[in-house]
Structure 1
C-alpha cells in the first residue's frame, strides 16, 4: 500500500476504534453494538479494492483484538475483518465512484450479517459459546439494523476522503504539463504552418504547379518548333 493510504487508513481506524470503545460500546443497546470499525473498513475497501481492503481489515481487526477491553482471542476479529474487507473490495467500481446508494447499503447489511456469523463461527471453533447464550438471530438482526442506520453518516465520508487521497499531485502536474506542451505545439505549428497535413498538401500543390509549368513550357516549345 502507498504511504497516503497507510496514513489515512491508520488515522481513520484509530479514531473509529476510540469512538467504538468509548461511546458506542457504552450505549447498552439491545442486541449487538453498532460496529463503526466495520463501516470504516467497508468504506476504505470500496475505494482501495480487495487487496487494500483485506490489508486494512486485518490491521483494524488486529488493533481491535489487542485494544482493551477485548475479551476474545487475538486474531479472531482480524480474520473476520480481513475476509470482509476482501469481499467488499471486490465490488469496487472501475471509476472509484458509486453512482447509487443501493449497492453500498446492501454491502453494509451483508457485511454486518456475515461478520457476525463469521465471528460466532470462529468463536465456536475455539470454544467460545457466548453467541448461543445471547441469541444469534437477535444479534444478526440488531447488527444489520444498527450498522444500516449508522452507515449513511460514515461510509460516504470515508469513501470521499479515500478518493481524495488517491489523487496524485505529481501525476496531475505531469498531465497538465503535457496538455500545455500540446497546446503550445499547436500554437507554434498553427502560427508557422508546419502541420503535417498542411505540409503534405503544400508539397503536393508545389508538385502540381511544377508539372503544370513544365507542361506549359513544353507546349510553348512545341508551338515554336511548328
Structure 2
C-alpha cells in the first residue's frame, strides 16, 4: 500500500474506534452497537479494492481487539473485518465512483449481517456463547438497522476522502515514469548539433580538397 493510503486509513480507523468506544458503546441501545469501525472499513474497501480492504480490515480489527474494554480473544474481530474488507473490495466499482446509493447500502446490510454471524461463529468455536443468551436474531436485525442508519453519514465521506488521496498530485508525480533520455536528448537539440557539426566538417574537408586541386593546377601551369 502507498504511504498516503496508510496514513489516511490509519487516521480514519483510529478516529472511528475512539468514537465507537467512547460514544456509541455508551448509548446502551437495544441489541447490537452501531459499528462505525465496520463502516469505515467498508468505505475504504470500496475504493482500494479487496487487497487493501483485507489489510485495512485486519489492522482495524486487531486494534479493536487490543483496545479496552475488549473482553474477547485477540484476533477474533481482526479475522471478521479482514474477511468483510476482502469481500467488500470485490464489489469495488470499476470507475471508482458510485452512481447509485443502492449498491453501497446493500453492501452495508450484507456486511452488518455477515460480520455478526461470523463473529458469533468464531465465538462459538472458542467457547463464547454470549450470542445465544442475547438472541442472534435480535442482534442481526439491530446491527443491520443501526449500520444502515449510520452509513449515509459515514461511507460517502470516507470514500470521498479515499478518492481524494488517490488523486493527490504529489503522489502522481512521485509515481510518474522517469524521463525518456532519448526523447530529452533529441528535444534538447544535441542531436541536431551533432548533425550540424558533421556537416560542417564535411564541408571543410571538401573545401580543403578543392584548395589542394587549385594549388596543384597552378603549379602545373
Q: TM-score, normalised by structure 1?
A: 0.76
Q: Is the counterpart of residue 118 in structure 1 residue 137 in structure 2?
A: no
Matches of 1:103 and 1:94, distance apart in 2: 13
Cα distance in 2 for residues equivalent to 1:23 and 1:115: 21
Over aligned residue pairs, what C-alpha RMSD do you find? 2.0
Structure 1 CA distance for aligned equivalents of residues 173 and 138 of structure 2: 50
Residue 162 of structure 2 corresponds to residue 147 of structure 1? no
Give the deviation of 1:146 after TM superposition: 0.1
CA distance in 2, matches of 1:164, 1:117: 33
Superposition deviation, residue 95 in structure 1: 1.2
Q: 1: CA distance between counterparts of 2:21 and 2:168?
A: 34
In the TM superposition, residue 167 of structure 1 has moved relative to its aligned partner by: 1.1
Counterparts of 1:73-92 in structure 2, within 5 Å, are 73-92=73-92
**Quick check: 103-112 or 164-173, which moved more?**
164-173
Q: Distance in 2 between matches of 1:43 and 1:162?
A: 8
Residue 100 of structure 1 deviates from its aligned partner by 0.3
Distance 2:22 2:77 in 1: 18
Post-superposition offset of 1:93: 1.1
| Structure 1 counterpart of 2:2 | 2
Q: Mapping of 1:41-190 within 5 angstroms? A: 41-170=41-170, 171=172
Cα distance in 1 for partners of 2:123, 2:93 equals 33
Could you list the runs of 5+ residues in structure 1 that have no partner in the other structure?
176-184, 186-226
Render the CA deviation track for 1:84-136: whole Å, top value 9, x for unaligned.
00000001111110100000000000000000000000000000000000000
1:113 alignment partner, SS class: helix
TM-fit CA distance, 1:172: 6.5
Secondary structure, aligned partner of 1:69: coil
Aligned positions, number: 179
> Secondary structure at the residue paired with 2:20?
helix
- Unpaired stretches in structure 2, ≥5 consecutive residues: 178-186, 188-221
Residue 25 of structure 1 corresponds to which residue in structure 2?
25
Aligned partners of 1:70, 1:127: CA distance in 2, in Å?
16
Could you tell me how far 1:168 is from its partner in structure 2?
Answer: 4.0
Runs of 4+ off more than 2 Å: 170-175
Normalised by the length of structure 2, the TM-score is 0.78
